[in-house]
Structure 1
């Protein structure tokens, strides 16, 4: 396969979060949420990443500056998702291969889902593969309309949908795999013919289909991973989901967490076997805990820290690198 590129949309404001901090920099378990998207893309085989920055662009650039594989493109005016991707024209012109387009506010994306998009794009030599999910909670989401033979027909936004189309439970997740040159060509064709006067990325698949190119709608996602974070409440839900996943992983691997619901541990923490984590313990940052340790209760560990095997950290201790 030709090298894959990912375009990550990271230009938006935190309007509904009521925050001055760019949305994609809000922390989830100790890391900016966009970093989880970058991780998923890399794990799916992406070798080149372009982050589209806009609102508070320098803050986003600064936060991601230590990622050597991330380039930046500036969207100085927010005129829609299609307009955002237009800011990558130079990078697209020099890229011969698949391109993932992802939102920077979807920290629960799984590498397997993204890899499936890329795999189908290559196998079918598709101009575009649209990642879809099925949900009854479809209000406000773009519906994926299929025609004869179950093939992709169009994406219809809520405000443009007929009563019949509004019943459709298959929705557009906003994750795509394009042929890079097909994406570039389709961006030249789309127009801001809508009430917002914005360029919609969802028009690109329509243009490509009208040109007789292969466009596939692939139900590759579950709704949990596909939904973006737009509110503080959703931020807390995503944090809880990542926490529960990490707790399960540690316990499967031989760690005892006495009361997972009363314990907070960043997913990047490493914990050895036969270690016991007591309730009300808070472990954040780059912390490595050896085998046969006992931590807590009511302990705070702030990384970077290395807790040697066999160590007991008693109640109410607060340890951090001085």
Structure 2
């Protein structure tokens, strides 16, 4: 069977960010946020990425053109998530294997969660809906199950009964499909809703009506499903990435004197027994060898390699080289 293909939805505008720059290419630590989605998908085994572009498509394609495993599908009209994925039908027709569907504005996705989603699909499901549990479920699609725990349907909040609104298991918007069965469902999608849109959530329902196995897998935490729609949310996501980076470095033997007062790029590679003083800024692909000391207020910009035992003085600026 072919390696997984990933469809990444990236056609949206930056309306709530009050920006002309397309949302998915807003920078996080100097990289377009959608690249974090690429990283997670690749690490989960994906070898081919199809990015659905729409708003300022030429600009998004130019920014992402250096990714050799990325191809683009153009959505000229915004007619819903199902319509966006339908633009990928030519790619699906040449793919025999699993398909991940991910949102380009969810840079906190974890590799292990995507692997669990793919494993659930690989066990024989035509479609797997990735879910998470949260009490803060307002505005999110709820997962309705039978008393025995079997997946029944996804219900959007505007259509939910009072009892369904209390459900804490929600749809993350991450899916794994059998590629050919997904193509069959996409060809049958109809805009039979008040918005006149094609809903991707109708695809699992169609497959379930075909008596195919459709399951909902609780394999994500709610943090991963955090989409970026505003600059406040962009800052919140950046803080999560920073905290993950700092904790990982300290677990590997790096001393960060005060994590609240440094900014370390997640691309940085820092060896054990390096000491990083407050107010240090490390940008890009910086490598620091063991037993080095980075003094307060220093700025290091990658690509840059510092050998072991390096001493960077306070307020020193080391540009890329």
Q: Output the TM-score relative to the length of structure 2.
A: 0.98
1:63-111 residue CA offsets vs partner (Å, 9 max, x unmatched)? 1111111111000111110000000010011111110000001111011
- How far residue 278 of structure 1 moved from its aligned partner, in angstroms, is 0.5
Aligned to 2:177: 178
CA distance in 2, matches of 1:3, 1:111: 15
The answer to whether the Cα contact below 8 Å between 1:29 and 1:243 also exists between their aligned partners in 2 is no
Q: Secondary structure at the match of 2:125?
A: coil
CA distance in 1, matches of 2:101, 2:251: 34
Structure 2 unaligned regions, length at least 5 = none
Aligned to 1:45: 45
Q: Secondary structure at the match of 1:49?
A: strand
Q: Secondary structure at the match of 1:105?
A: coil
Aligned to 1:109: 109
- How far residue 148 of structure 1 moved from its aligned partner, in angstroms, is 4.2
1:28 to 2:25 alignment = no
CA distance in 1, matches of 2:31, 2:58: 18
1:163 to 2:166 alignment = no
The answer to whether the Cα contact below 8 Å between 1:12 and 1:54 also exists between their aligned partners in 2 is yes
CA distance in 2, matches of 1:115, 1:247: 24
The answer to whether the Cα contact below 8 Å between 1:276 and 1:293 also exists between their aligned partners in 2 is yes
CA distance in 2, matches of 1:122, 1:304: 40
- How far residue 28 of structure 1 moved from its aligned partner, in angstroms, is 1.4
- Output aligned runs, 1:1-322, within 5 Å: 1-123=1-123, 125-321=124-320
Structure 1 unaligned regions, length at least 5 = none
CA distance in 2, matches of 1:76, 1:54: 6
1:235-260 residue CA offsets vs partner (Å, 9 max, x unmatched)? 11111111111111111111111000
Q: Secondary structure at the match of 2:76?
A: coil
CA distance in 2, matches of 1:117, 1:156: 21
- How far residue 195 of structure 1 moved from its aligned partner, in angstroms, is 2.2
The answer to whether the Cα contact below 8 Å between 2:2 and 2:95 also exists between their aligned partners in 1 is no
Runs of 4+ in 1 over 4 A off after TM superposition: none
How much is the aligned-residue C-alpha RMSD, in angstroms?
1.1
189 and 148 in structure 1: CA distance in 2 versus 1, 3 angstrom threshold = farther
- How far residue 2 of structure 1 moved from its aligned partner, in angstroms, is 3.0
CA distance in 1, matches of 2:258, 2:7: 40
CA distance in 2, matches of 1:33, 1:243: 14
The answer to whether the Cα contact below 8 Å between 2:10 and 2:54 also exists between their aligned partners in 1 is yes
Q: Secondary structure at the match of 2:8?
A: strand
Q: Secondary structure at the match of 2:223?
A: helix
The answer to whether the Cα contact below 8 Å between 2:255 and 2:275 also exists between their aligned partners in 1 is yes
The answer to whether the Cα contact below 8 Å between 2:258 and 2:277 also exists between their aligned partners in 1 is yes
CA distance in 1, matches of 2:2, 2:289: 41
